[in-house]
Structure formats: C-alpha cells, structure tokens
Amino acid sequence: MVATALVHDVVPLSRLIDFCVDSRHRDIAYARALFAWVPAPTAYMWNSMIRGLSDGDEPEAALALYADMLRHGRSPDHFTFPFALKACSRIPDPSFGRCVHGRVVKAGYEADVYVSSTLIHMYVSCGDIPSATSLFRNAVNRNIVTWTTMIAGYAENDRAGEAIRLFSEMELEGVEPNEITMVHVLVACAQSRDLETGRRIHARLRRAGADSITSNLVLATALLDMYARCGSLKTARHLFDKMTVKNEVSWNSMINGYNQYGRPNEVLQLFKEMRDAGLKPDKVTLLSLLGACADIGALRLGQEIHACVEKTIGSGDVAVGTSLVDMYAKTGDAQSALRIFASLEGRKDVMAWTSMILGLATHGHGKEAIDLFVEMTQHGVAPDDITFVGVLTACSHAGMVDEGRKYLEAMEKLYGMEPRMEHYGCVVDLLSRAGRLAEAERIVRSMPIEPSNTIWSSMLSGCDIHGDVALAERIGDQLAQSKPQGSGTSVLISNIYAGAGRWQEVDKARRLMWKKGLKKTHGCSSI
C-alpha cells in the first residue's frame, strides 16, 4: 500500500485500521500509529479506534479518544456512542457515562434501539439502577436486547425479584426470550431461591424443543446452578451427570450446592471426580473444599488443600485466607489459624476478624477473643451480628458475665443491631452458668422473640447446677403450655428433682416422658 501510494486512499486505510483493532488479530500500537499519521481521520476511523480500545485492556484510552474526537470538531454518530458507553461500563465511570448520555440526547439518538440498550447497560454496570429503569420505561423502541439488558442489570445488582417480575412482564407483552435472557432469569431464580419460577423456565425450554439443553454448556450450567442453590440437589445432580460437556463453572456449581446444604462428603467425592476428569481446582473450588473440611473436621485433608492453595493462588487472598482460618479453627489447630490470620495483615475484612474471634472463642480462649474484638474496632472495622455471636460465645466460655451483658447492650446502643436468638442464648447461658438465674429469667421474659428450647435448656442446666427447683418448675410449666417438650428438657427437669431428693416428682416426670413417647437422645462422639 505504501509502495503503490494506496495508503492515501481512505477506504483501504480504514480497512487496515479495522484489521489492526480486531480482537482476532489486535495490534493496537500499529493501529494508533496509522491513526496518528492520517491528517484528517474520518468518522469511521474514529469509531474503529474507539471500538478497538473499548474492547481491549484500555477502556480509559477509548474515552480519551472520544474526548479528542469532540475537541477536533467531529460529531459522534449512532456507532460512536455505543463504543464510548461500553468503555464507561467497563471502568466503570458513571460521571463520563452521563456526559455521553447528554451528547446522545442533544444529537437525537436516544430513540435508537442500539444506543438505548448500551445506555441502559452502562447505568446498570455502574450500579445506577434508578437511571437504567427510567430509561427502560421511557424507551420508545424496546427489543429483546433492551429487555435482556434490564433483566441482567437487575440480576447483577442483587435485585433478583425485580428481574423475575420484569421477565413475566416481558412474556405478557409477547416478546420472545432468547437463550441469553433465559440464562439471566435463571441466575435471578438462583439468587432469590425461586425454585418454582426456575422449574417453569426449565419446562418452557423443554416445550420449545430444546432437547439438547444438556449439550448447551451455558444454559445447562445456569439450570444446574439454579437447582443446586435452591436445594434441589437430586435434580441438579441428574442434570450434571447428563451434561455432555462440563467446565470448571459446572463442577463448581455442583460442588457449591453440596457445600451449601451441608453435604461435605459429596463435596470431597465430587472434587476427586473433578481431578480424575483432568480439571484443576480454582479459587471457588478451593473455598468449597475448605468449607467441607471444616464441617467434618478433616484436618489432614484441609492441610492438603492448603498446600494446593499455596501452589496455585496463594493464601494472601482475603476470602481464601478467611476460609483457611475458619478451617483450622474448626479442626482444632488454633495456632495455624492465628498464623494465617496474622499473614493477612492490612487486608482483613469483617469476615476474617469474625472467623478468628469465633475460632478463639470455640477453643476456650475467651479473653484473647475479646482482645481481638477490641483490636478489630480500633482498626476501624465495623462488626456484624455474627461477630457478636463470637464475642458473646467467648464471654460465655470464659465466664465473663459483666462483659457479656455489656456487649449485648452495645449491639443495640452503639451499633444499632437487633439481637437475635443466638445472642440472647449466649447471654442466658452465661448468666445461668454463673448462678444469676433471676437475671437470666428477666432477659428471657423481656425478649422480643419467643425463646427457643435451647434457651430454656440453658436455664434448666443452670437450675441443675445451682439447685433452683422453683425456677425449674416454672420453666417446666411454661414449656408444657407453649410448645412440645423435647426429651432433653424433660430429662433435665427429672435430674433437678432427683438432686433435690423429690423422688415422686422424678417418677412423675419419667412416666410423663413414657406417655408422650419421648426417649432420651443418646450421646455420640466422633474420634
């Protein structure tokens, strides 16, 4: 082209720039050199360059070039705006996106379906759902791309219910969904645990003649993930076994489903099958495996997974580090948990702090757990309700009665959290063990929620330790009136009577258990 002077011809030069920015060939540096050499680039050339930069690793450069285009007095067209908006979505930069939106309105392209869809996508990518919804509702021409973009936006911004409602509205308007729409709706069903809608979509896919669902990797994985997250593990496994092609996402969806619903043995078995199939675990897989090891107390296997983590992604990642802390704490190795926690240094989030506090509390290191909580607040990390479960458990295990009362009050007064059953249970257990039964009873009577059997059992245990028969009788009467009495509370009441030498009441309690068909639950140890 240079030798024949064809390089001065606009059409072949435009094609050459197009070739250089194409994702299959991509030589952005060469394209930039060509573009800079052209004395007066055409609108087509500007658009090609902006498209190439927005598709690549430099979306900021695409926006800079768009600004240069305006400074050179060139007017953007209905091709320029979508490329610039795509770059805004990828950064994301809502401020620049609004500037582009202003230009779109001034240029009169707001009614263009392609421009309108990319505007909606830009706003949802930047988390501005109200602006995206307003655009969608005011759009003159809405096609399947527009509907799908809005549904996907809701799903990606944790508004699954709105995504499902919009899909129903789309069906009523007679717009036929495509495969991408179905995938995003299934994602929303998985997020909201809406099994009924998920099944309806699955049935619709079958009616539409999609016999090869299991051979469509993206659609099959979305269906599998929906069933797994909704707890329909049998159906999820059936789909998984029928899939002709599986990738890491498919395996992770099934493994996560088992992990989420407390099936650690299946998690480990599926991981073995995954390795046999020649696939390597990624971060998501490793997090599920560490959770399974923690659930079944498999320290040796957890150490092997830890070694795998170090070889692949390293334990510096906060999520992985937190899972390692949790695994070691639950499998009895508090020192390893502390070492990994310390290695996270300034990257610790509330989950990491909470896992370590819970780990120390579980191992009976109550004072250390409280000290760590104080350190956490000094670092400016705000605790959540699970953090307070760990703090109150630590107080209970260490017998720190006054501290336990103080932290329960702090939940509401300092952090604006409503205590849950677990929090009240920890404090009632703490007071009952310490013999402050009247105080424990006042807390139980003033609770805004109905006390559970566990809370009453904690008080009965305190009555047993401190020989308070009168309170035990009141609790027994309360349980008899309000809810079915379990074998544990019945046995505790019987033991309290026995400790006081009231054998007639012991006999009466045992006979009542026999009449109700209650049997004492056998103890079980795992070594």
Three-state secondary structure of 57-77: CCHHHHHHHHHHHHHCCCCCC
Phi, psi (deg, nearest 5) at residue 221: -65, -40
- Terminal CA-to-CA distance of the chain, rounded, Å? 79
What whole-number percentage of the chain has pLDDT above 70? 92
Residue pLDDT, tens place only, 331-347: 989 999 999 999 887 78
Burial bucket for residue 217 (CB in 10 Å: 0-12, 13-18, 19+):
middle
CA distance 269 to 42: 60
Burial bucket for residue 65 (CB in 10 Å: 0-12, 13-18, 19+):
buried
Residue pLDDT, tens place only, 40-99: 899 999 999 999 999 888 899 999 999 999 999 999 999 999 999 999 999 999 999 999
Residue pLDDT, tens place only, 140-162: 888 999 999 999 999 999 999 99
CA distance 271 to 290: 12
pLDDT-derived band at 445, boundaries 50, 70, 90: confident
**CA count, 13 A, side-chain hemisphere, 369:** 31
According to the model, what pLDDT value does residue 97 have? 94
Nearest alpha-carbon partner for 175 in 164, 166, 184: 166
Encode 397-432: b = buried (16+ Cβ within 10 Å), e = exposed.
Answer: bbebbebbbebbeebeeeeebebeebbbbbbbbbbb
Question: Are 34 and 20 spatial neighbours (Cβ–Cβ below 8 Å)?
Answer: yes
User: Is it the case that residue 521 has pLDDT exceeding 90?
Assistant: no
**CA count, 13 A, side-chain hemisphere, 244:** 6
Whether the ω angle into residue 130 lies within 30 degrees of 0, i.e. cis, is no
Residue pLDDT, tens place only, 118-129: 999 999 999 999
Nearest alpha-carbon partner for 135 in 186, 100, 84: 100
Q: What are the domain boundaries of the chain?
A: 443-519
Helix (H, G, I), strand (E, B) or coil at 2: coil
Residue type at 519?
A: K
According to the model, what pLDDT value does residue 487 have? 53
Residue pLDDT, tens place only, 170-215: 999 999 998 899 999 999 999 999 999 999 999 988 887 655 677 7
User: Is it the case that residue 486 has pLDDT exceeding 60?
Assistant: no
CA distance 381 to 156: 26
CA distance 471 to 444: 13
Please name the residue ranges forming H helices in 379-502. Answer: 385-398, 401-413, 421-433, 437-446, 453-466, 469-482, 487-499
CA distance 55 to 18: 13
The DSSP 8-state label assigned to residue 140 in this structure reads S
